[in-house]
A and B are shown apart, each in its own frame.
Chain A
Amino acid sequence: MILNNIELTNFRLHINTVLNFSDKLNYIVGGNGQGKTTILEAIYYLCTTKNLNQSPDSEALTFNESYFELTGKFKDLTEEKSRLVYSVETNKKTCFINEKQFYKASLIIGKFPVVTLTQSDHSITFGSPADRRKFIDSVISQSSETYLKILLDYNKTLRQRSSLLSLLKESREKSLFDEFDAWTETLIKTGAEIVKHRINFLNEFSEYVKNSFVKIMEGSESPEIEYYFLGDNKTDKVEENFRREIKNRRNDELIRATNLVGPHRDDFVFKISGFELRKYGSQGQHKTFQIALRFGEFFFLKDVLGKTPVFLMDDIFGELDTYRSQKISGYLREVGQAFITMTDFNNIESLHISEKDKIIKVEKGAVAYA
């Protein structure tokens, strides 16, 4: 899928911006606060109907305006138009695909797949297990609606069960325990489905990450993603292990009134050549890993969906040495079309720019092709 053109109206600094893109690399260059990331933000909105930084829609509005509007023209097999209008008065977005309004945000999933590589990816390797689960879940959900549905069911079961655990703290009636056992059974069933999905996904996804890693960093280093559920990484024992562990922890759960066992407590361990990244990794290794995860996501989704995702890269080159910058800009050729923001031109000279690429300068919300 190629994004040919976008139009932004009253979107942050962009009062009215029209951009035609290259189907190769698009470098968007500008100082801080000039509105270059805003262009990625607009693209992200058009692909997902959501804000890239999960901030409220009203924040993306130009000061003193009553609405913003975004339009994007994609080319897949045919032209596909995505349009989104936000109005202050109703504090609501209306979204259209090919001028047909749709009401459920989930309907756009898989239609315009998008992969982002930003500074906040920092948290995937440095952050908490929750940050890693969020990343893994988002990749699986983009490739499987079934997984997304099971995940929502599982989260609801957790809330129901935890509410029951609070009740059990106050009253230890027999009937409440029977009810508790029923919720435990539902938790095991949906939870086991999640674990199995994660195991199967990681078996496949790890290969993609490995391939991307060597493209960015030549040498003998090799990345791994380790995932064990209750000490096991095979799919056939998941339910059995889950059932045993939840039985063992039953008293703990009752005392602490919390769900203590299940995939909501999973972690994924990133390793480079057998060493745990979180404990022994250098800053550079962390960065390389984050980049490999996103490129891996891109090529994984491309294969699974049979559709090339839109690739957004926000301000990544600034932090990298020349060697890796050149490696990555070379690798981006394999991605096809990508949108890359940068703060200064000095960086650009060290990259391999081709004639078909576009360099777009952004200053105070105005754009110019360089």
Chain B
Amino acid sequence: MNIIEPLQIAIEELSKLPTIGRKTAQRLALYILKSDKDSVANLIKAVTDLKEKIKFCSVCFNLSVDDTCEVCKSPKRDKSIICVVEEASDVIAIESTNEYKGLYHVLGGVLSPLSGKGVESLKIAELVLRVNEPDVKEIVLALNPDTEGETTSLYLTRRLKPLNKRITRLPTGLPLGGDLEFTDHATVGRAILNRIEL
């Protein structure tokens, strides 16, 4: 194979992106090569701005342009509730429901000793400080319902219990409005085992 070097480097870099295979990377590189100068400049600017303009909110660690994010700054948000999530992408997911009016706290992951994630590498100490504020009345744990997420919720519950605030979590199990018959068997099976008293 003999591909001129700048093209090859571009292909290599693009194929490092998630879900982009070699063939797609090649097609993207050739597309960019054929594009006019302005649109390439716009693309480069957009990518650089991502890194240069976006930082983490100093309060909740959500993505932000300023030191504090739009959610934390907004006078309309209910400052008495903090919703704890793993990643900034979860904030986007909850925000798009328009159902939540409180604040967030992005942990930056979950406990996972195997991948070197412990209490120190998550924004847990920062969370405890925030929860300690007298204005805060409720903490919502909204971590993914997998082994690591569940364990992190358990840990946080124990750690936050002494602060005497209301602690809630999102229910797990069957999808609302979903059809029982179309839900995967393992989920239905677990829901049956963990059925609740009415």
Contact = CB atoms under 8 A, between A and B. Distances in A.
A144 B113 CA distance: 30
Nearest to A163: B113
Given A179-B119, A186-B147, A163 B158 contact: no
A146 B189 CA distance: 5
Interface residues of B, number: 24
A160 B189 contact: no
A176 B150 CA distance: 17
B41 interface: no
B149 to A, nearest CB: 10
A175 B154 contact: no
Where chain A touches its partner, the secondary structure class is helix
B120 interface: yes
Nearest to A155: B147
Contacts of B119: 175-176, 178-179
Nearest to B184: A145
B114 interface: yes
Contact of A160 (B147, B155, B158, B185): B147
B151 A149 contact: no
Interface string B139-157: 0000000111011101100
A178 B158 contact: yes
A159 B113 CA distance: 9
A28 to B, nearest CB: 34
B169 interface: no
B129 interface: no
B190 interface: yes
Interface in B169-198: 184-186, 188-190, 193
A164 interface: yes
B159 interface: yes
Contacts of A82: none
A159 B111 contact: no
A100 B152 CA distance: 40
Interface of B: 111-114, 118-120, 146-148, 150-152, 154-155, 158-159, 184-186, 188-190, 193
29 contacts: A145-B184, A145-B189, A146-B190, A147-B189, A148-B186, A149-B190, A150-B190, A153-B147, A156-B147, A157-B147, A160-B113, A161-B113, A163-B113, A175-B120, A176-B118, A176-B119, A178-B155, A178-B158, A179-B111, A179-B119, A179-B155, A181-B155, A182-B111, A182-B154, A182-B155, A183-B151, A186-B147, A186-B151, A190-B147
Which 3 A-B residue pairings sit nearest by Cβ, starting from the closest? Answer: A146-B189, A182-B155, A149-B186
